[in-house]
C-alpha cells in the first residue's frame, strides 16, 4: 500500500491520507472545496464548490498516477439534495466517462461546505481504462 500526498490538493484535516494506492487502484479520501493554496473554503455556491472539489480530486489522482478519466466509482455527499441538478451539471463536465456513482444528502459536511466527493480509480499499473 502506498500513501498519496500532493501539495496541489488540500492537506488532510484529520488522521487520514489524501489517498492510498493498492492493487492497481487508488482510493481517495473525500475532497471538499478547500483551496489548496490558501487552505480556506473560498467558493460559496454549489457550482463553485463542485469545481474546486473536482480540481482537488484531479490533483490527488494525478499524484497517484491516475486521472479523472480513470475513475471507476465516486461517492458524492450533498448538504442539500435541492443542489442535485446544479451539482450534476458541473460534475458531468469533469467525469465525462460516467463512472458508477452514489449520491446522498447528509445533514452536515466539514467546514460547512455544500459538497464532498470521494473516488476510486485505476492507476497506471491497474491497466487500461475502458
Which residues have a catalytic role annotated? 103
Whole-number Å distance between alpha carbons of 30 and 60: 11
- Provide the sign of the torsion angle of the four alpha carbons 3, 95, 80, 77, taken in this order: negative
Q: Are 118 and 31 in contact (CB under 8 A)?
A: yes
Give rounded-to-5 percent helix, strand, coil for the chain: 30, 30, 40
Q: How far is CA 93 from the centre of its chain?
A: 14
First to last CA, the chain: 24
Amino acid at each position: 500500500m502506498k500513501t498519496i500526498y500532493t501539495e496541489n490538493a488540500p492537506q488532510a484535516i484529520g488522521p487520514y491520507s489524501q489517498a492510498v494506492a493498492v492493487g492497481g487502484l487508488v482510493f481517495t479520501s473525500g475532497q471538499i472545496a478547500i483551496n489548496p493554496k490558501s487552505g480556506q473554503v473560498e467558493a460559496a455556491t454549489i457550482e463553485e464548490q463542485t469545481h474546486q472539489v473536482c480540481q482537488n480530486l484531479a490533483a490527488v489522482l494525478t499524484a497517484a498516477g491516475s486521472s479523472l478519466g480513470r475513475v471507476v466509482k465516486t461517492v458524492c455527499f450533498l448538504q442539500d439534495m435541492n443542489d442535485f441538478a446544479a451539482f450534476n451539471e458541473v460534475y458531468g463536465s469533469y467525469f465525462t466517462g460516467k463512472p458508477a456513482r452514489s449520491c446522498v444528502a447528509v445533514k452536515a459536511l466539514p467546514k460547512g461546505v455544500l459538497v464532498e466527493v470521494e473516488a476510486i480509480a485505476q492507476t497506471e499499473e491497474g491497466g487500461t481504462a475502458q
